[in-house]
Structure 1
């Protein structure tokens, strides 16, 4: 990362050759799009919004966000002014691996970047999620960066920005976030909101964008008795935008008595932002619902640059939409207030069935997988959560989570499954263990993920009815996932949970099918580094129309998860939100009528697309 001062000097040098060059003749001659808004005051004053730039592409007319190299791109004096407003927190964004290259060739020009010590650090930590999280604009998984600046041992290779944002604001005050939103709105710049970069489908990246990084917001405030609005009067916690799962669980464990919230299973997941805006699921979900169901209030900054509180009484429509209605769609969350729960003694276990147990016996593997998955409904109906992975000849369930239960209770729940495995002489490794609290279980049995990989991800939700009535059909779909096309391999990450267990009625904007859930699977399709554009398109087609189509065909849920599924699937509106979608689209029109915020496949983005690989545009 290069400080802004270097970027300012670079941009000033290049201003004569870069800033004045339009992308094409049509664009240079085009008139701006006229923007009108019926929202003329207060929270809905968008009269200072810059016009989109008209572009013709493949016979269609678009209004586009401004990109580097266009006449509409803000002058350096405007960027300097923004840097002053955010107190020096603005930086030119250079990818983390640029230190391994002699030069970074960016949209503002070329910078000498090689640094042997920094490059060694990149190689040592490329797969370390925590290392990547601390970078201002990096993505934990790199497919949607266009892979144009990965670690290399050859410094003469070329490093470019790819689909990363151009500038970052490492915000440390809420005023910095407001300033970034205002600047993007007034200058027609694509805006990205990024906390950790824990993002499977490219919502933390975007070519030509200004990135607002919220990760420094780490405040945690415990509330003994919540005073409303609403009927809830129990304990709660207010969590700032940058707080991650392990951080809040650690802080809760230090309370007397220990407390927990519904957070994700991965420790690097940020709680307050895109996680909750997608719904948020984790180990406590079977007992307490989705994270979004447990939200009591938000503080946020709107697309018009206003600070708002959203709860059951104030801005109640925004409150509902932020609870699962889609990330980066309505406002930037500053903090969230959530219900807390007493931590309790818990039991965890691991189940391994792999080639050390069954060799390469295909029948034994699929029989074991069929039996395991057959009991998904039974497990969630008894309050369990199970995280599992399926690879060829490997079923790895780590962990089974039995919150508030003893080893004997977990053994009783799982006994029917093991009886069936034993009847077919399928060996396995089963290790249950008791813990004084869930937090102790979490530290012991949940594992950090690895960053730096390149893959496409899809996924689907299976209801309790799906598992009960069509388990064999689901297993056939899993077989398709493993071998979807010649020479193509993908795998499955699964989550057995039921957000409707003991809490059948949703109070969030999430898909109604979640209340009858048994299993949500993520499909992961690795993409070779250096794959051509045509190869990537072919793999996307395999994911959408073979892998995930097999899952869709084996289920009646009609649903998948906003943050961990194929954004290019057909009917994403219905699959992500079901009957809630029309209301969400209307709320989006109210709070962000002109598209200041954008993330793919979120309410109201039907007319937006990325053209020419890098330009965010709206169909006119």
Structure 2
């Protein structure tokens, strides 16, 4: 957090509390005079930029090539940045023979680091490893040597807007690939890239509560949140100020940035809408290096695009102003049951409450999902997993979270579900929770670490239209659940289902502003479930096997698509990019919607004609590709080059 030391900074703090326009770190900006002697950080001019279709530079500069910035260039950049330029090695290099080898550190990384915040605070790592290329796996007995692979070459530890501006300008002027990273909650490789310069916004931790904020039709409480604030920190700020703010459910997910620019879901989605629906103002550094405040009255095209139009696309967000609400309490409870047909044998059962009949298990799971709209109707949220345990054994777990409800009403809401599970399907789940105590939504913040360990998680997701639940003869839901079951039972995937309803009515203004709206995919407004087929992609597999696994996953998504086409043909097709498949073939349609994408692409051409900001499946992403040596699908371990269109 900042420590004011001058009257100017004190004045800026006063301004922030009243208007929420600028943080002290945002007042430290790159000036024209600072670029005079070092033109590599000079500002850009979008009007003088080459045409979008120009192919003057086929590929981004590559380390070791003639086009790569010289050592003196990097040294001068570091001087401009005040020493914040890092060139870190992969953390796992401690396990490899050489100058970085340290057996104690290696053992700690393997055995203890997941209990800490280490990987979230590490400048290179992301929580999904496979896009990196597996060139430096974390192991006590490593094969070969450790190389950076898809990790960035340099990292700017951004603590001021000046740092962000200098990095953007340097990357643009020197034709260096640029990536943006916060905590590394990245399942598609957007926060890494071989031969790149990374802007690490993780330490932009400022937060301000604004008791009165007025813009357009909004008048009420608000908060301004720095780009590096994590959800657990966000919750603690809520508790300290006795307010509620819509936030990510995962404790170490960034509270703004990639969360709000894609859509952003959480426990209050059915009550207050998506993360993107909360935004009232955005501070951002654009591709020309300029620092702008974007709101309903300023830069209206960017205002529309930045709320739902994708991350790493239009600029580097430094802070966001969000709606704030009076403190709200929530009630949550868990529902869980398993099936293990082998328990009919003579061996002792591992779980005395486990089912032995697969039919009963799947009936129960289907019923639980089919019941979710009733919980959504109360403003609630179902968070669930169907997990294969090996053989014909499976586990179903679900949390039902409802805000602003009494204990008695909550128990009554769940009573029909528990009664049918117990009586009709003979699933021993007991009685619905009674005397459940509400907990303040603003009081859930804690510094988390356990589980935040790099793994090779792959998500393939869809937004399920709400109309699938409305079919009178249940044919639509039966077909939908059959496709889910096939993915788990035949495909071996874990199904992760999150039920909510972020309608336009819930979103409110400014999303409902006819003059601006937002770039959020229309499918969000008609969904009742975000569902993903999840797997851990094995380390060490080659490009051929990875391609086969991608094709297999696409087949199970295609089964869902066929059901949607048959029973919900009028609903827009969509998926959540933050938990979607980077190999999605129709990603423009699935992550943005066709009409939105065309408009977003025009805005991209206007604000970033150089293509400074690029990541897989972001707007304009089809113009570039990563040329890997081994052809591993969606890997970021290779040089970024323009796609050559054959005439």
Q: Normalising by structure 2, report the TM-score.
A: 0.82
Q: Distance in 1 between matches of 2:407 and 2:394?
A: 25
Pick closer, same or farther for the CA change 1:435–1:224 going to 2, 3 Å: same
The one of the two structures with greater contact order (alpha-carbon pairs below 8 A, sep at least 6) is 2
SS in 2 for 1:354: strand
Counterpart position of 2:121: 134
Q: How many residues align?
A: 558
| Structure 2 match to 1:617 | 641
Q: Report whether the alignment pairs 1:239 with 2:248.
A: no
- Listed as ranges, the matches of 1:123-272 within 5 Å are 123-128=110-115, 130-154=117-141, 157-228=144-215, 230-255=216-241, 258-272=242-256
Query: Which residue of structure 2 aligns with residue 491 of structure 1?
Result: 494
Q: Residues 393-423 of structure 1: CA distance to partner in whole angstroms, max 9, x if unpaired? A: 5454453111111222122222222232121
- Quote the offset at 1:193 in angstroms: 0.4
Matched, 1:593 2:579: no
Retained in 1: the 8 A contact 2:51–2:609? no
- Please list every run of 5 or more consecutive structure 1 residues that lacks an aligned counterpart in the other structure: 1-40, 55-61, 104-111
- Aligned-pair distance for 1:450? 3.9
Cα pair distance change 1:48/1:549, threshold 3 Å: closer
C-alpha separation in 2, matches of 1:165 and 1:319: 30
Instruction: Find the counterpart in structure 2 of residue 389 from structure 1.
Output: 385
Corresponding position of 2:470: 468
Please name the residue that 2:71 is paired with: 76
Deviation at 1:226, TM superposition (A): 0.3
Contact 1:348 1:441 in 2 (8 A): no
Corresponding residue SS for 1:260 = coil
Of 78, 84, 99, 1:89 maps to: 84
Q: What are the superposed Cα offsets for residues 216-258 of structure 1, whole Å, 9 maximum, x if unpaired?
A: 1000011101022x11110000001100111011111111xx1
Partners in 2 of 1:218 and 1:441 — Cα distance?
18
Note the alpha carbon deviations across 1:159-188, whole angstroms, 9 max, x for none: 121211111111111111111111110111
Give the Cα–Cα distance (whole angstroms) in 1 for the partners of residues 332 and 504 of structure 2.
Answer: 19
Q: Match for residue 547 of structure 1? A: 556
CA distance in 2, matches of 1:449, 1:553: 35
Shift of 1:435: 2.4
Conservation of the 8 A alpha-carbon contact between 2:231 and 2:250: yes
Alignment of structure 1 residues 529-544 onto 2, 5 Å: 529-544=539-554
- Equivalence map 1:180-579=2 (5 Å): 180-228=167-215, 230-255=216-241, 258-355=242-339, 356=351, 357-392=353-388, 393-421=393-421, 422-428=423-429, 431=433, 433-440=436-443, 449-469=451-471, 470-484=476-490, 489-500=492-503, 502-503=505-506, 506=511, 507-544=517-554, 546-555=555-564, 556=568, 557=571, 558-578=573-593, 579=595
Query: 210-219 or 601-610, which moves further after superposition?
Result: 601-610
Q: 1:118 maps to what in 2?
A: 105
CA RMSD of aligned residues (A): 2.5
When structure 1 is superposed on structure 2, of 412-421 and 563-572 the one drifting more is 412-421
- Taking structure 1 as reference, are residues 352 and 267 closer, same or farther at Cα in structure 2, changes over 3 Å only? same
TM-score (norm. length: structure 1):
0.85
Output one character per residue of 1:529-585: Cα deviation in whole Å (capped at 9) or x when no partner: 1111211111111122x1222222222341111211112222211111223221111
1:181-223 residue CA offsets vs partner (Å, 9 max, x unmatched)? 1111011111010010011111111111111100110000111
Q: Secondary structure at the match of 1:353?
A: strand
**What is the CA-CA distance between 1:69 and the residue it aligns to?**
2.2
Give the drift of 1:319.
Answer: 1.2
Match of 1:233, SS state, is strand
The Cα of 1:308 is off from its aligned counterpart by 0.5
Q: Measured at CA, do residues 50 and 159 of structure 1 come closer, stay the same or move farther in structure 2, by a change above 3 Å?
A: farther
Is contact 1:52–1:65 with CA below 8 Å preserved after alignment? no
Match of 1:28 in 2: none
* Kept after mapping to 1: 8 A contact 2:262/2:307: yes
Alpha-carbon deviations, 1:50-91, whole Å to 9, x = none?
99987xxxxxxx811111121111111111111111111112
Alpha-carbon contact 2:171-2:178 (below 8 Å) kept: yes
Task: Classify the secondary structure of the residue corresponding to 1:588.
Answer: helix
CA distance 1:605–1:51, change in 2 (3 Å): closer
Residue 467 of structure 1 deviates from its aligned partner by 2.7
Gaps of 5+ in 2: 1-42, 340-350, 512-516, 630-637
Name the stretch that deviates more: 416-425 or 151-160: 151-160
